[in-house]
Structure 1
């Protein structure tokens, strides 16, 4: 597991370093991906802005953040900077395995005088937060990198830090769909191959002891499935 986490961290660190140089690696995809018959469908989503991930309105409307809430962003990537979380009234906490990501977010928060909780470099399966600390949370674009054993540990840990009846949104790959297949090819090219190996039914069985599923929707034209959850305690 530690080796897997290191691979993902190094890949995102590399992406951050290229980004600081003005290089977007997603704009330099190899021919075998660009010429794939399913790539136009993925590209159409990109051009339309539908590959929105954690910025989609449904997440905000479900979590309903307010100034008295603490929000935990699991595998936060650059959501605080690019996905609108800096505009949320709740207090932001982020955790990510990439040290360069946390470094960049710290710079962003400081430069913009953001009043946030904390930013932590680490894995979401073992977090430095107290039990029942967060009112709301999200984990978008993260679980796809891991097999069932790690996913199970991450779910247990998310359950630990979220308050009773707290709301939590996460997503998983919708394996077998054309858009998901292209997403997985791209992530493999980036050096962080997706390892998720569960059907939606298997995943739902995994989380049922920890979270109540209030709704599940396909996003990114079926490439991912988002779950809107209520924490059981």
Structure 2
């Protein structure tokens, strides 16, 4: 697990460094990816801006962020910058393993003078927050990097910091999707291979101890879950 956390951290640090220089690592892919039969679908969705499921309006509608709510974004990446989370009424707290991601977000927050809660560099399975601290939360585009044991640790941590009946959104890979098949190849090329090794049925069973599943939706090669904390 430690090695995978380090790989994910280094990969996203590299992406930030290249992004600051105007280089998109998704534009320079090897032939075994660009010649793959699923690649045209990936290209089309990328051009449409439909690859990420973090900025879906359905997330905001479900979580219903309000001024009296604290929101935790586990594995936040650059959601605050690019997916509209900076405009939510709730108080934003971001957690990410990439130190350069957190650095860039801090620059963004300072420049825009955003009244956020905190930005924490660390793993989603060990956060510094108190029990029952957040009314709402999300963990989107993260769990696919990890195997079952770590995934359950992350779920337990989310359960710990979310309030009773708090709402939570997360996603896992849709192994039947051609989009996931091609993005898995790309993620491996970028140095952060997908390690998720559970069926959706196994994952649902794991969740039952911690969250009630209100609905599931298939989007962008993933299965997105809309959950309520069962405390």
TM range (shorter): over 0.9
Q: Deviations over 1:123-157 (max 9, x none)?
A: 01111000000000000000000000000000000
Matches within 5 A, 1:1-233: 1-220=1-220, 223-233=221-231
SS of residue matched to 2:54: helix
Deviates more, 1:39-48 or 1:188-197: 39-48
TM-score, normalisation: structure 2: 0.98
TM-score (norm 1): 0.98
2: CA distance, partners of 1:75 / 1:29: 24
Q: Residue 207 of structure 1: CA displacement? A: 0.7
1:72-118 Cα offsets, whole Å, 9 max, x none, are 00000011011110010100000000000000000000000000000
CA distance, structure 2, for counterparts of residue 46 and residue 18 of structure 1: 18
Residue 176 of structure 1: CA displacement?
3.3
How many residue pairs get matched? 231
**Post-superposition CA distance 1:152-208 (Å, at most 9, x none):** 000000000000000000000011321110010010010000000111101000111
After TM superposition, the runs of 4+ consecutive aligned structure 1 residues lying more than 4 A away are none
Deviations 1:5-46 (CA, angstroms, capped at 9, x unpaired): 111101111111111111110111111111101111121211
Write the distance in 2 (CA, Å) between the matches of 1:216 and 1:111: 37
Structure 1: 5+ residue stretches without partners: none
CA distance in 1, matches of 2:170, 2:195: 17
